[in-house]
Amino acid sequence: MAVVAAGTKAELHVLSRDAARARAFADWARSRGVNAQPARGALQPELAINATPLGLRETDPLPLDPARASRLAAALDLVYAPGETRWVRTLRAAGIAAQDGREMLVRQGAAAFSRFFPAQQAPLEVMRAAVTRALRA
C-alpha cells in the first residue's frame, strides 16, 4: 500500500508503537519513491489504514478515534473479524466510509492461487463466499 501511495502522490505518515520501526518503515517507503515520514503530533488524515493487530479483540483501543480526525473520509482496517471490527463499526456510525481486511484477504488468496495454478483464473466469488461464511457474526 505504501508503494501505491507513491503513485497517487499521497503523503504517508507512519505511526507505530515503536518509533524506530516507524522510522525504518518510512525510510524504506522513501527508498521506493513514497513521500513518507514518521508521524508527528496529532494526525488529521483523509485516509487511514490500520495495519496493526489492534481490533482482534473487542476491547482493543481504536487505532484512530474518528472524533479526533475531522478530515477523515475513509479507512481500511486490515484486521478482519466476525461481524467486523469495532473500529469499522465506529467509523461507519460516524459517517465515515470504512472497510475491513476481508477483500484484501480474498485478493491475497487469489494471488497465491495464481502462483500455483497459473493457467486458471482464481475463483474469486467462491473465495469471497468462503471468507464471508467463516467470518459470519
Pair (50, 65) in one structural domain: yes
**129 alpha-carbon distance from chain centroid:** 21
Q: What is the pLDDT of residue 16?
A: 85
Using the structure block, give the residue that is written with the C-alpha cell 501505491. 4
Structural domain harbouring 129: 101-137
**Total count of domains within the chain:** 3
Pair (54, 94) in one structural domain: yes
Q: Is 18 exposed, middle or buried (0-12, 13-18, 19+ CB in 10 A)?
A: exposed
Between strands 35-38 and 97-100, the pairing is unpaired
- Could you read off the pLDDT tens digit of each residue along the chain, which spans 137 residues? 777 777 888 888 998 888 999 999 999 999 999 999 998 877 789 999 998 888 888 898 998 888 888 999 999 999 888 888 999 999 999 999 999 999 999 999 999 999 999 999 999 999 999 999 998 85
> pTM for this one?
0.80
Pair (51, 31) in one structural domain: no
Pair (50, 31) in one structural domain: no
What distance, in Å, lies between the first and last C-alpha atoms of the chain?
Answer: 28
